[in-house]
A and B are shown apart, each in its own frame.
Chain A
């Protein structure tokens, strides 16, 4: 099961940075932090993942604290199309694959 805690909802003004927090205080050393989002009832969309270093891609940045007990997903310039449910998932990959256990996530609303 997902071992993360996220606020249930957040608002962000269009054009501003959206900072979505996630607590994963029981994370173990070989568990990665993944972020996905789901827009309406579409399939979950991969955003970014990391182990202990901060990561950045064309969609977002992931900041992981030094003790790895929490992380923040940053959408640098939120647009209305970023309105979605954002899921933070910790996961250790096994031979069986990379199964994800989704929690309830954070519902982000970008306001014009």
Chain B
């Protein structure tokens, strides 16, 4: 069964450093998403991406964040200068259309120290 793959599973970074989280969405999907979940809190929508541009973003997704689809298979989330409060699980998801379900990856646990 096709699945969304995320790497790495766990990343530790120093405060102020840049991190790139990587995702390989399901191959025939057209819509891509990033979510995050701070420990013990809700899953929060960050951004959606369609047709090589951001289609929607939440208040959380400020100038420190950016997304990119550098080639035909990868989808990345970059955090420019990490803060302690960026520590969270980051989930990538993809869907084939606007009325179809989204499939989530297993997440990258980001720890900022």
Contacts from A to B (Cβ < 8 Å): 32, 34, 38, 41-46, 49, 87, 93-104
Among A45, A46, A49, A96, point to the contact of B48 (Cβ < 8 A). Answer: A96
Among B56, B97, B104, point to the contact of A99 (Cβ < 8 A). Answer: B56
A78 to B91, CA, bound (A): 27
Having A98-B100, A99-B48, one finds 14 other A-B pairs with CB under 8 Å, namely: A41-B37, A41-B89, A43-B4, A43-B106, A44-B104, A95-B55, A96-B98, A97-B49, A98-B98, A99-B33, A100-B102, A102-B43, A103-B42, A104-B42
* Residues of B within 8 A of A (CB-CB), count: 29
A96 to B58, CA, bound (A): 13
Among A38, A42, A93, point to the contact of B98 (Cβ < 8 A). Answer: A93
Q: Hey, which chain B residues are within 8 Å of A46, CB to CB? A: 101-104
User: When the two chains form their complex, are residues A96 and B43 in contact, meaning their CB atoms are under 8 A apart?
Assistant: no
The residue on A at minimum CB distance from B100 is A98
User: When the two chains form their complex, are residues B101 and A49 in contact, meaning their CB atoms are under 8 A apart?
Assistant: yes
A sample of 12 inter-chain contacts (CB < 8 A) reads A41-B89, A43-B106, A43-B107, A44-B93, A46-B102, A46-B104, A95-B50, A97-B49, A97-B50, A97-B98, A98-B95, A102-B42
User: When the two chains form their complex, are residues A34 and B101 in contact, meaning their CB atoms are under 8 A apart?
Assistant: yes
Q: A34-B101, A41-B89 are in contact. Are A97 and B48 (CB under 8 A)?
A: yes
The residue on B at minimum CB distance from A104 is B42
Q: Hey, which chain B residues are within 8 Å of A87, CB to CB? A: 43
